Amino acid sequence: MARRPILGVFDSANSAADAGDGLRRAGIPETDVDFLTDTPYPEGAFGEREEPHRLYIFPFIGALLGLTSGILLTSMTQVAYPMVTGGKPILSIPPMAVVCYEGTMLGAILFTVLGIIFESRLPKLKAGLYDTRITEGYIGVLVNTEETQHGEVETAFGQAGAVDIKRE
């Protein structure tokens, strides 16, 4: 049986949370339910599941790559164009610190941004079921489940006071 999305639109956080409770009672798995809002509500406001992520790994990988690039860039340019100064080494370590530091930070930040996009599952190329009223303060409860369960979902939405129910 095909899985299809169904969206309930609610005008308050409380009714959206009630809809979440109703869906749980109806046996809809938490992983099939998404709450769409135009502002970050405190985590768990709708009784939704905790979202694990691995964003913290990204800056470390980026920092390592950035540091490596910084070391290579600064050491190779010094070797490629030697500044011969009496009693001083061609490859001088202290001045490499700044560029290496900036490279490390740049790498960390670039990878963090990539991590944010990747972990947020963006870009989403195919537009899913959505309602523009969500950015007007309404709350969308998006359920992606078997079509056979849509009746129970609609009942849960109706009991919680959905202002609209949309199907794909």
Partner 1 sequence: MQEGRVLSTREINRDLLRSILDTPRWFWPVVTVLGLILLVAAIAIGIMVNRGLGVTGLNRPVAWGFFITNFVFWIGISHAGVMLSAILRLAKAEWRRPATRAAEVLTLFSLMTAMIMPIVHTGRPWRILYWVFPYDFARGIWPNIRTPLVWDPSAILTYLTSSTLFVIIALVPDFAVLRDHTTGIAHRVYSVLAMGWEGNARQWKLQIVAGVLLSALILPVFVSVHSIVSWDFGMAAAVKSWHSTVFAPYFVVGAVHSGVSAVAFALILLRWCYGWQDYIRHEHIDALGRLLIVVATGWFYFLVMEILFGMYGREADELMVRQTQFTYWPYNFWFILFVITTYFIPVALWLSRAWRRNLWIMSIACISVNIGMWLERFLIIVPGLINKQLFTFVWADYRPSIFEYIIIGSTFALVTLLMLLFSRVFPLVPLYDVKEGDVLRTQVQIGRRTVPATFRED
Q: Which residues bind partner 1 (CB under 8 A)?
A: 13, 34-43, 46, 48, 51, 53, 55-56, 59, 73-74, 77-78, 80-81, 83, 92, 95-96, 98-99, 101-103, 105-106, 108-110, 112-113, 116-117, 119-128, 130, 132, 134-137, 140, 142
Nearer to partner 1, 114 or 151 (CB): 114
Contacts of 143 (CB under 8 A, 6+ apart): 5, 6, 7, 8, 23, 28, 32, 33, 34, 153
What is the closest distance, in whole angstroms, from the C-beta atom of residue 98 to partner 1 in the complex? Answer: 4
Nearer to partner 1, 43 or 146 (CB): 43
Would you call 53 helix, strand, or coil by DSSP?
coil
Q: Please report where in the chains the tokens 């990539």 appear, as a residue.
A: 114
What is the closest distance, in whole angstroms, from the C-beta atom of residue 81 to partner 1 in the complex? Answer: 4
Radius of gyration of the chain (CA): 26
Nearer to partner 1, 31 or 148 (CB): 31
Nearer to partner 1, 27 or 121 (CB): 121
Nearer to partner 1, 1 or 83 (CB): 83
**Residues across the chain:** 168
What is the closest distance, in whole angstroms, from the C-beta atom of residue 101 to partner 1 in the complex? Answer: 7
Q: Is the peptide bond before 123 cis (omega within 30 degrees of 0)?
A: yes
Cα dihedral 69, 70, 76, 81 sign: positive
Tell how far CA 126 is from the center of its chain: 17
What is the closest distance, in whole angstroms, from the C-beta atom of residue 52 to partner 1 in the complex? Answer: 9
Spatial CA neighbour of 168 closest among 127, 122, 120, 125: 127
What is the closest distance, in whole angstroms, from the C-beta atom of residue 8 to partner 1 in the complex? Answer: 14
